[in-house]
């Protein structure tokens, strides 16, 4: 990742959202939830936090039109995620096949993104745990994988506060 050397971010192991590991199954997988305890108290003593979500993608199979991946940052009031909201959704893979029903938009004008020539790639998103006036203490990453993939997706994600 020589093109992003000047974009180093502070890393804290307690804020790791997703470890490295190839995901190729046609389902979804949730990461271990992290607790944002501490920080400035706001809105009825909920803990408000702003951070950067850093995603380092090393593999993203996108050759077939059926290869879709979505990475969701979700917030909840407790570690069980019985109820949650999706704070951020990122769509990857073969995206030219139509408009995403979840986001109702396209994320790139390219047919498949990121393609092999773009990898490895670092994506940085500013986030906060306030969604529509509700502050969520617990965050996790959920990765949705379509049913038919060739190689899969491999990425590492963490929060940098």
pLDDT at position 3 = 46
Give the fold, CATH level 3, of 11-160: Jelly Rolls (2.60.120)
pLDDT at position 94 = 74
Average pLDDT along the chain:
77
Residue ranges of domains in the chain: 11-160
What is the gyration radius of the CA atoms in the chain, in angstroms?
A: 16
Q: Which residues contact 89 (CB under 8 A, 6 or more apart)?
A: 70, 71, 72, 73, 102, 103
pLDDT tens per residue, range 120-157: 888 899 999 999 888 898 999 998 887 667 778 888 99
pLDDT band at 73 (very low <50, low <70, confident <90, very high): very high
């Amino acid at each position: 990742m020589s093109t992003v050397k000047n974009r180093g971010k502070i890393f804290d192991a307690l804020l790791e959202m997703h470890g490295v590991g190839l995901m190729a199954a046609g389902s979804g997988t949730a990461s271990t939830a992290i607790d944002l305890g501490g920080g400035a108290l706001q809105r009825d003593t909920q803990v408000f936090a702003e951070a950067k979500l850093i995603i380092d993608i090393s593999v993203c199979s996108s050759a077939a039109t059926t290869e879709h991946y979505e990475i969701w940052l979700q917030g909840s009031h407790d570690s069980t995620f019985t109820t949650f909201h999706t704070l951020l959704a990122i769509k990857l893979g073969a995206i030219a096949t139509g408009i995403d029903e979840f986001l109702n938009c396209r994320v790139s004008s390219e047919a498949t993104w990121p393609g092999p020539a773009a990898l490895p790639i670092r994506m940085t998103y500013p986030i906060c745990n306030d969604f529509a006036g509700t502050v969520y203490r617990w965050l996790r990453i959920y990765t949705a994988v379509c049913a038919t993939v060739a190689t899969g997706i491999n990425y590492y994600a963490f929060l940098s506060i």
